[in-house]
A = this chain, B = another copy of it.
Amino acid sequence: MGREAGETGRRTGLKDVARLAGVSVKTVSNVVNGYVHVAPATRARVEEAVAELNYRPNPSARSLRGGRSGIIALAVPDLRIPYFAELAGLVVAAAEERSLTVLIDQTGGERERELRVASGLRAHLIDGLIFSPLAFGPEDLAARSDDTPLVLLGERVQPGSADHVAVDNVAAAREATAHLIGLGRRRVAAIGARHDAGGETARLRLLGHRQALTEAGLPVHAGLVAAVDDYLRADGARAMARLLDSPEPPDAVFCGNDLLALGALRTLYERGVDVPGQVAVAGFDDIDDGRYGTPSLTTVAPDKRRIADEAVGLLTARLSGATAGPAREVRVGHELVLRESTLGRAR
């Protein structure tokens, strides 16, 4: 049975634990908050004292004092999409520079799980959330009652409603398709139209694609826009096969992300179609896979490192209380990286 100071009218505090364990209050705090750099023997002594005194940290006092768990969460749809896996690594690194631990939550892009994440997946465990939603929309954000600081990534955001980091998808996609047109291609297809809730990024990228066609005076053929269910390699491979089987196949393809483009390259390889000789291919994301593709992949490179830095920076500004004002909007740059899938192979 543990003694409990509360029974004598006073609540057990850090000091009581520290006295019994024979360590400083700071050390007790470190153990209770789960920080590293506590010698195992010391940790054991403190844990014994905590059990003996039945000490319970006071969560409300802790948050009033600005106490933090030191943990932030990053919620992304799917880690099999290397863009999110690479982003996760960069967020972990950016958070580490600020002594924060990142726990990653994979939502599958499903609305119910995204709602759970945003409504404070254990608000008492995490200090803040960086969230890349697919199904979670502006109305969900408006209805959110949890006040855990939140930074949104991507497109499912109304300006001013939350701290937000994004790239200019329309401009970036326009540049990619303009590059394909600049190679002399006239039947420039797009792979990646979506009809589901996750379609906002897809919509913006296809909009940029169409803008480039229109600016070049080219018609927008509905038959040259391939819809997909998801943004994985298999979807790109199937969509490319459909485009090749159409009466007037394309001579270039802009793909909504690199995985779609890598799937398309696979189909072109299987069919013996020369890339870029017969069909030039461009993607979006600049993932490592595309850099090592055979051929290597021309793609839009969003500044992922800056996305991660800005997201963690916006969040820590909220956490430290340095920012209490309205939502901030950060637009991160991008670059069109030209490689073999449009330029051909250097020999």
Q: Which single member of B51, B103, B124, B288 contacts A73 (CB below 8 Å)?
A: B103
**A288 contacts across to B, CB distance below 8 A:** 80, 232-233
**Interface segment out of the listed A86-94, A161-169, A246-254:** A86-94
Q: Are B120 and A34 in contact (CB under 8 A)?
A: yes
Once A106-B104, A292-B237 are accepted as A-B contacts, the answer to whether A80 and B82 lie under 8 Å apart by CB is yes
Q: Which of A17-25, A207-215, A259-267, A320-328 has 4 or more CB atoms under 8 Å from chain B?
A: A259-267
Q: Which of B34, B73, B143 contacts A121 (CB 8 A)?
A: B34
- List B contacts of A266 (CB < 8 A): 292-294, 296
Would you call A116 an interface residue if the criterion is a C-beta within 8 Å of the partner chain's C-beta atoms?
A: yes
Selecting from A55-63, A223-231, A330-338, the interface stretch reads A55-63
Cβ contact of A36, chosen from B78, B116, B289, cutoff 8 A: B116
Q: Number of A residues contacting the other chain (C-beta, 8 Å)? A: 62
Assembly stoichiometry (copies): 2
Q: How far does the alpha carbon of A85 sit from the alpha carbon of B77 in the complex, in Å?
A: 12
What's the nearest-Cβ distance from chain B to residue A264, in Å?
10
Say if the beta carbon of A141 comes within 8 Å of chain B: no
Any chain B CB within 8 A of the CB of A40? yes
Q: Which of B44, B104, B262 touches A104 (beta carbons < 8 Å)? A: B104
Interface residues in A107-124 (C-beta closer than 8 Å to B): 108, 112, 115-116, 119-124
Contacts of A36 in B (CB 8 A): 112, 115-116, 119
User: A43 on the interface (CB 8 Å rule)?
Assistant: yes
Closest beta carbon of chain B to A115's beta carbon, Å: 7
Query: How far does the Cβ of A318 sit from chain B's closest Cβ, in whole Å?
Result: 20
Which residues of B lie under 8 Å from residue A237 when comparing CB positions? 292
Q: Interface digits, A52-73 against B, CB 8 Å rule (1 contact, 0 not)?
A: 0010101110000000010101
Residues of B within 8 A of A123 (CB): 34
Is A145 at the interface (CB under 8 A from chain B)? yes
A-B contact pairs, 19 of them (CB 8 A): A34-B121, A36-B115, A69-B122, A69-B125, A71-B122, A79-B88, A79-B89, A80-B89, A80-B288, A89-B106, A101-B105, A101-B121, A103-B103, A122-B125, A232-B288, A266-B293, A289-B289, A293-B294, A294-B294
Q: Which 9 A-B pairs have the closest CB atoms?
A: A103-B103, A104-B104, A269-B294, A79-B85, A266-B292, A34-B122, A233-B292, A85-B85, A36-B116
